[in-house]
A and B are shown apart, each in its own frame.
Chain A
């Protein structure tokens, strides 16, 4: 005797739920695999936040609402673009004005320290601080010390005394 509930719709439903089960099993497999892989990756090397390279600069920049961010790196490269974005996040609320060296403070993130120092010399700025990641903060004395932290003001006084 044929099953009363048997219908073409039921077959279609069974096919759909079988496919759903297949996708769910596939998902679970890949999610578990991905999680285990990430646990191993994080055990080998902890998460690196490129913005950490800029920590501490905000104390020297003081209350300046905006600072220049000069780079000779290719920003189409994702890592370089990430570094700029993370620097902006860490230094917030200071706004980073890309490749504008006309501000009181300019952060240099160049391919080499020599390239950064050359550019700093060209614009007549004073390097204030360099860190082990090659990030250099420079101060433009021409732009005054309106927003600078006290340490920078003292630094600029020393520089002006040394100047002939």
Chain B
């Protein structure tokens, strides 16, 4: 029963993504499944939120019914369009190398699940912020608005609700808050993120080494710890990766469907964490810039129609975020503008600490040298990581880092060393899959050209 809601969401996601594409421009099957499962879980979270928004309470039967009706409608649509056919999957041949690789992946997945089970309740502040909210939304009845009361400021009531609502959706089938569900959600998103990363690389390069970045993150103990201990950072990481990969595909294929998908993923990103909202604003800005810049090019690599699809997807999926911020969020209680504050002003020393801490964190032993590897990859790649194919991701990373550093500098509410020590590693964690894609795609694309 624990897994049933995940399968329903996954099926809805797969059918929705299928509906968006024509036969010719569909993404590869693996990418489709990983991306669509994440989108399906996002849809379930939003449908659960609409129960609170429209009916002002949790209506379990109503939410399940809407899911079933949606699933039925999508299946009927598929039957009408007669699109049911055997998917064309180019499975690798059964060789010793491929069998060994499959065994390695299976072994690593067992270790990932084992890691998650060591902390059945997740990280200690994961339940303070995320699992508490999920349980409260499930059990509080008419008092659910108390989730935003000042007495529980420790639970960051201004954080959006995508992850807690996925767990609430899953708990509707068990009728009580089963402890294993948040763990299953976090393992699901860990596998989805790794799968999305490798399937996107596979789609781009058709190279067996596309599996390497996924293996790198799934074997990194610190990554596993943060991914499976029920925080929202893995969810943020997934939607960030999905939004930029689909946007990059939209740019390459000139497909409005990919642009629309990117808008949808960016919309879900806004409902994950405040950092997700920042990332979504940067991505939207990049889409505007791409559209303006490509007007001078022939053929255009990002048309106004694509831009329209992106913003339509973003607008529809961002409605819960908008409602949340306007109607419920008490606002960030932990912000002091250091630019205007006389008591806690911004200082040059604070900036030095931020930059120093960033370097320290990137070279920290807990990352097992993965950031040093990526730094080396960037240097060894010469001009390749900066080619037009990669400028979108590179541009995003540069802007995101700039905003993050500026926020650490300007918001002087917290003592900076403590704040960096508890948050910077999570920001790097959520960016890691995207940076891995950026660097590995430059090397693996080159492999394909050679072949």
Contact residues of A with B, CB < 8 Å? 5, 9, 12-13, 15-17, 19-20, 22-24, 26-28, 30-32, 34-35, 38-39, 42, 47, 49, 51, 65-66, 78, 81-82, 84-86, 88-89, 92-93, 95-98, 100
Interface presence of B99 (CB below 8 A): no
Whether the Cβ atoms of B443 and A27 lie closer than 8 Å is: no
Q: Which residues of B contact A27 (CB under 8 A)?
A: 216, 219-221, 368, 370
Task: Give the residue among A38, A88, A92 with the most B Cβ atoms within 10 A.
Answer: A92
B435 touches A (CB below 8 Å): no
- The answer to whether A9 and B446 have CB atoms under 8 Å apart is yes
Return chain B residues, CB-CB under 8 Å to A66. 146, 151
* Closest CB in chain A relative to B136 CB, distance in Å: 5
**Cβ of B57 to closest chain A Cβ, rounded Å:** 13
Of the residues A12, A20, A35, A85, contact of B382 by C-beta under 8 Å: A12
Task: Report the minimal beta-carbon distance from B260 to chain A, rounded to whole angstroms.
Answer: 35
Interface of A is mostly: helix
* CA distance in complex: A42, B115 (Å): 12
| Chain B interface category by residue count | 35 or more
User: What 4 pairs across the A-B complex have the smallest Cβ distances?
Assistant: A27-B219, A93-B140, A85-B128, A12-B380
- Whether A86 touches B216, Cβ cut-off 8 Å, given contacts A38-B118, A47-B120, is no
| Closest B residue to A79 using CB positions | B124
Evaluate contact between B443 and A30: CB separation under 8 angstroms: no
Look across to chain B and name the residue whose beta carbon is closest to the beta carbon of A49. B121
Q: A130 to B245, alpha carbons, bound, how many Å?
A: 56
Residues of chain A with a CB closer than 8 A to B152's CB: 88, 95-96
Contacts A16-B380, A95-B149 known; A23 to B127 CB distance under 8 Å?
no
Query: Judging by beta carbons under 8 Å apart, are A88 and B443 in contact?
Result: no
Residue among A15, A23, A65, A88 making CB contact with B146, cutoff 8 Å = A65
Q: Once the chains bind, are B219 and A31 in contact (CB under 8 Å)? A: yes
Residue B387 is within 8 A (CB to CB) of chain A in the complex: no
Pairwise interchain contact A23-B373, C-beta atoms closer than 8 A? yes
A sample of 17 cross-chain residue pairs with beta-carbon separation below 8 angstroms, ordered by A number, consists of: A13-B443, A15-B376, A16-B381, A19-B373, A27-B219, A31-B108, A38-B115, A42-B118, A47-B121, A65-B140, A84-B154, A85-B154, A89-B131, A93-B139, A93-B140, A93-B146, A100-B151
**Given that A9-B446, A95-B146 are known contacts, is A24 also in contact with B136, CB under 8 Å in the complex?**
no
B254 at interface by CB-CB < 8 Å:
no
Do the beta carbons of B221 and A93 come within 8 Å of each other?
no
Contact B143 A65 (CB under 8 A): yes
Q: Are B146 and A30 in contact (CB under 8 A)?
A: no
Alpha-carbon separation in the docked complex, A52 to B70 (Å): 40
Q: Are B212 and A20 in contact (CB under 8 A)?
A: yes
Say yes or no: A16 contacts B128, CB within 8 Å: no
**A30 x B369 contact (CB < 8 A):** no
In the complex, what residue of chain B is closest to A50 when comparing beta carbons?
B124
How far, in angstroms, from A17 to B152 measured CA to CA in the complex? 49
Min distance, Cβ B213 to any Cβ of chain A, angstroms: 9
Tell me if B215 is interfacial: C-beta within 8 Å of chain A. Answer: yes
A12–B381 contact, CB under 8 A?
yes
A contact residues around B305 at 8 Å (CB): none
